[in-house]
Structure 1
Amino acid sequence: MSRKLDLRTGRAVWTAYRAAAIPATPLTRDVKADVAIVGMGISAAMMADSLTDAGLSVVLIDRRGPLLGSTAATTALVQFEIDQPLTTLTKKIGKDRAERAWRRSRLAVANLAARVKELGIECRMIERPSLYLAGNVLAPQALREEGLQRNRAGLRSAYLTAGELKDRFGLDRKGALLSHGNHALDPRRLAGGLLLAAIDRGARLYAPTEATGFESHRDGVTISTRDGPSISAGAAVLATGYELADFVPKDHHSVISTYAIATRPQPRAIWPEAALIWEASDPYLYLRATHDGRVICGGEDEEFTDEERRDSLLSDKTTRITEKLGRLLPGIDTTPEFAWAGAFGTTPSGLPLIGPVPGKRGFHAVMGYGGNGITFSRIAAEVVTASLTGGADRDADLFALDRA
């Protein structure tokens, strides 16, 4: 059984843009496949694309339907910079492992961009620079040290003084790190394109179909459903976002509520280079521009308690984010046309949990994505595909569910 959550509330900006219709039908009979995927969001889409590209037969089920969970709530800043600064992560897990995690994150962003181009997915993916602003977590001197450690690890970043930041980007902050190779995109279009590519290779989508039982046996796994039919497979991947199956360890995973707004289109007011912007602060603000000049801004994260409390805070959080955005960018119209709340998973290290579920043979889980959900979803697809095709991923130990 899995915990059921209302994963978002309000109206996310991506509903204003068209995404491809993804065909899915109810499950009316027992089916078999090499791999069963539970979920039909961005993580499941990347997994289905990767596994079918490797020649495996895939079945996906979801209790809602394609793209109806957390995917629409993401702000889709696709960055290689992990939520935990490299200097901080080094103190938590060691220099070698921290640098490996950051390098793998950068590789994942590059691999995703190449895959989108290869498949010809029209998801408005565009490369953007990223600005990491000095704040209450990393003041200017600490931010300089962060930049030095990144550069020593081969992760190029340039420190901008307050004057340089003001002259180039028009932002009034004490300093920032500038990096390149990140992207902005439309997450629903990306997920839809990946699912359609998987369908073209034979993937079968069944929804609405709710998984109610997960069994391991000598020949693989069986997933039973509320309406009766079952799925038999050699292995299963739980890509259920933040609705975790009961047997998945949750000791190092927690759910956070986050809030976001989007303004009207105002392309002439967008800051130079439409850089992705986020703060070295807690709580931090993060923002980007859409292809048509809307400003998407999020933050005000807090521990998730229940949907009712999260939703009751939406109005107040919207006001706070709007005020912060106005102070940072006084030249834009900050009036929200969209405001929404969503959930995301996090871990103490900021790294996701990817791989075999301890004590549950044949089942793999992907969870704990923090602010790098799309980037980590790409890593998950690579790690799990290697495992299920008889290979080995050199970085799998960084993300294993039992790594603690």
Structure 2
Amino acid sequence: MKLNSGQLPWDHTLLNKPAYPVLGEDIRCDCLIIGGGMGGAMVSYRMSLSGADTVLIDKRAVGSGSSHANTGLLQIANDKSLTSCMNTFGEENGVLFYKLCQQGVRAILELPGKLDIDPQIIPRSSLLYASVPEDVPALKLEHENLTRHGFDSEYWDEERVRSHYSFSKPAALFSRGDAETNPLRTVHSLIDKAHSGGVRVYEHTKAIRYEFNEDGVVCHTENGRIFAKNVIFAMGYETQEMKKDRGAELINTYAIMTKPLSVVPKWHEQSLIWETARPYLYFRTTPEGRLIAGGKDEQLTDPERRSVRVLSQSQRLLEELVALFPELHGIEAEYSWGAVFGSTRDGLPFMGPHPEYPHCYFIEGYGGNGTVYSMIAAELLADTLAGKKRPELDLFSLTRTAKPVPSPAIQS
């Protein structure tokens, strides 16, 4: 699957990427991780802390799949609001999901001091604005539910939004506790640390087929076999080529990164910005003084069609950016790209075991919060493989139906 089109933005921020060999022999391990993107990076790092004998392989270079197109917004709030999660899954499960996301963001914010390569993880506030006046009542209800369950949320009226930003919107929710990151640096920093902690890493090593046996899994590659007691598939959206999840949907999404700014816009705390409309637009700053804008999601098309659409969609994103911040008139995009993006119909990611794949676990962080989901999955799966039961996995079951299994008490 060709995951990305256009000019990808992150290579210039990490010129000397760590490199790893191609597998050339038969090996054995306790845990084999398939995929060197964000999911594989998070879980390989977590497995290195547990001391498990772990191997990671990727058919490409590390970090060159979907993570290369990631725009690096890390938020507690999700594409599906807390209110909607409570309505769909019940109050306990809905709050549990948001609490897990909160714990995930906090765990990510603790990473920089533990890694040898700076991942550029920076704490940020977030502004979620009402796209139209009709969205204000739902925004007020979301604020009430967030604050009732202990989440940081301030309700801002139109005047307060206008006083802090160049634009005016009917209302907004302002919150703290989120973050931004450089996804390419984050992936490489995690895998580099995992490697120094004993995880064996092989790039350009494609899994050709698998044998599922009573005592484990045999992964066949072009130049060697890997005998693993357990396998974690962290292949992102390409998982759908291996097994089709009925609840998963793939689309095209687009993003731009501007040239460094000569004008500082009226942008409170350099917050992450997004909106209530679906599909939504989102915006963030970078440490280099650039801006990122993303959205304009549309039906999945072939890679050639997506490549053609990058130019027109990037122009539309520039127009949206200038509409919010008129002082940026004349700004130019230096990087413009399109990518495959996955979501689920019920708004929750997939993670955990699957009955048709013995000794196997999956990380499918579908949705706008994929990096946070990857951290959640890394914690839950590492504990599971260490023999600690994590009933929270029931919420993210790959075989779930409309109503998830009731979940345990929430741990804050």
SS of the counterpart of 1:371?
Answer: coil
**1:279 to partner: Cα distance:** 0.7
CA distance in 2, matches of 1:221, 1:138: 53
2:188 aligned residue: 192
Paired letter, 1:258? T
CA contact (8 A) 1:258 1:341 kept: yes
Paired letter, 2:339? G
C-alpha spacing 1:26/1:344, structure 2 compared with 1 (3 Å): same
CA contact (8 A) 1:259 1:301 kept: yes
Give the CA RMSD over aligned residues: 1.6
2:114 aligned residue: 118
CA contact (8 A) 2:282 2:293 kept: yes
CA contact (8 A) 2:57 2:201 kept: yes
CA contact (8 A) 1:254 1:368 kept: no
What does residue range 77-88 of structure 1 map to in structure 2 within 5 Å?
77-88=73-84
**1:136 to partner: Cα distance:** 5.0
**1:60 to partner: Cα distance:** 1.1
Q: Is residue 338 of structure 2 the alignment partner of residue 373 of structure 1?
A: no
Q: Is residue 328 of structure 2 the alignment partner of residue 339 of structure 1?
A: no
CA distance in 1, matches of 2:105, 2:370: 11
CA distance in 2, matches of 1:214, 1:246: 14
What do residues 363-393 of structure 1 show as CA deviations (whole Å, max 9, x unaligned)?
Answer: 1111142110111110110111111110122
Paired letter, 2:362? A
Q: Is residue 314 of structure 2 the alignment partner of residue 315 of structure 1?
A: no
What do residues 304-361 of structure 1 show as CA deviations (whole Å, max 9, x unaligned)?
Answer: 1322222221112112111111111111243211100111211012211000122210
Q: Is residue 156 of structure 2 the alignment partner of residue 163 of structure 1?
A: no
SS of the counterpart of 2:145?
Answer: helix
Task: Point out where structure 2 has 5 or more consecutive residues left out of the alignment.
Answer: 402-412
1:244 aligned residue: 239
CA contact (8 A) 1:358 1:401 kept: no
How many positions carry a matched residue from both structures? 399
CA distance in 2, matches of 1:36, 1:87: 38
SS of the counterpart of 2:194?
Answer: helix
Q: Is residue 250 of structure 2 the alignment partner of residue 255 of structure 1?
A: yes
Equivalent of 2:92 in 89, 96, 115: 96
What does residue range 164-179 of structure 1 map to in structure 2 within 5 Å?
164-179=160-175
CA distance in 1, matches of 2:157, 2:384: 45
What do residues 17-50 of structure 1 show as CA deviations (whole Å, max 9, x unaligned)?
Answer: 1255223111111111111111111111111000
SS of the counterpart of 1:363?
Answer: strand
What do residues 83-111 of structure 1 show as CA deviations (whole Å, max 9, x unaligned)?
Answer: 11111222222221111101110110001
Paired letter, 2:366? Y
Paired letter, 1:262? M
CA distance in 1, matches of 2:20, 2:87: 46
Paired letter, 2:187? A
1:265 aligned residue: 260
CA distance in 2, matches of 1:268, 1:110: 32
1:127 aligned residue: 123
C-alpha spacing 1:19/1:356, structure 2 compared with 1 (3 Å): farther
Identity %: 33
CA distance in 2, matches of 1:215, 1:182: 42
1:383 aligned residue: 380
**1:296 to partner: Cα distance:** 0.3
**1:268 to partner: Cα distance:** 4.3
1:398 aligned residue: 395
CA distance in 2, matches of 1:376, 1:20: 28
Q: Under a length normalisation based on structure 1, what TM-score does the superposition of the two structures give?
A: 0.95
Paired letter, 2:326? P
Q: Is residue 205 of structure 2 the alignment partner of residue 209 of structure 1?
A: yes
**1:292 to partner: Cα distance:** 1.5
What do residues 88-146 of structure 1 show as CA deviations (whole Å, max 9, x unaligned)?
Answer: 22222222111110111011000111133333541221111000010259711211111
Task: Point out where structure 1 has 5 or more consecutive residues left out of the alignment.
Answer: none
Q: Is residue 64 of structure 2 the alignment partner of residue 68 of structure 1?
A: yes
CA distance in 1, matches of 2:134, 2:372: 23
CA contact (8 A) 2:124 2:272 kept: yes
1:364 aligned residue: 361
CA distance in 1, matches of 2:133, 2:14: 38
Superposed structure 1 runs of 4+ greater than 6 Å apart: none
Query: Quick check: 359-368 or 16-25, which moved more?
Result: 16-25
SS of the counterpart of 2:67?
Answer: helix
SS of the counterpart of 2:10?
Answer: helix
CA contact (8 A) 2:263 2:327 kept: no
Paired letter, 1:134? A
What do residues 246-296 of structure 1 show as CA deviations (whole Å, max 9, x unaligned)?
Answer: 553411112121100111111642412100000111221101000021000
2:104 aligned residue: 108
2:296 aligned residue: 300
Paired letter, 1:389? A
Q: Under a length normalisation based on structure 2, what TM-score does the superposition of the two structures give?
A: 0.93
SS of the counterpart of 1:331?
Answer: helix
CA contact (8 A) 1:143 1:176 kept: yes
CA distance in 2, matches of 1:176, 1:362: 46
CA distance in 1, matches of 2:102, 2:311: 35
SS of the counterpart of 1:301?
Answer: strand
CA distance in 1, matches of 2:125, 2:78: 15
Q: Is residue 25 of structure 2 the alignment partner of residue 26 of structure 1?
A: no
CA distance in 2, matches of 1:248, 1:117: 38
C-alpha spacing 1:136/1:29, structure 2 compared with 1 (3 Å): farther
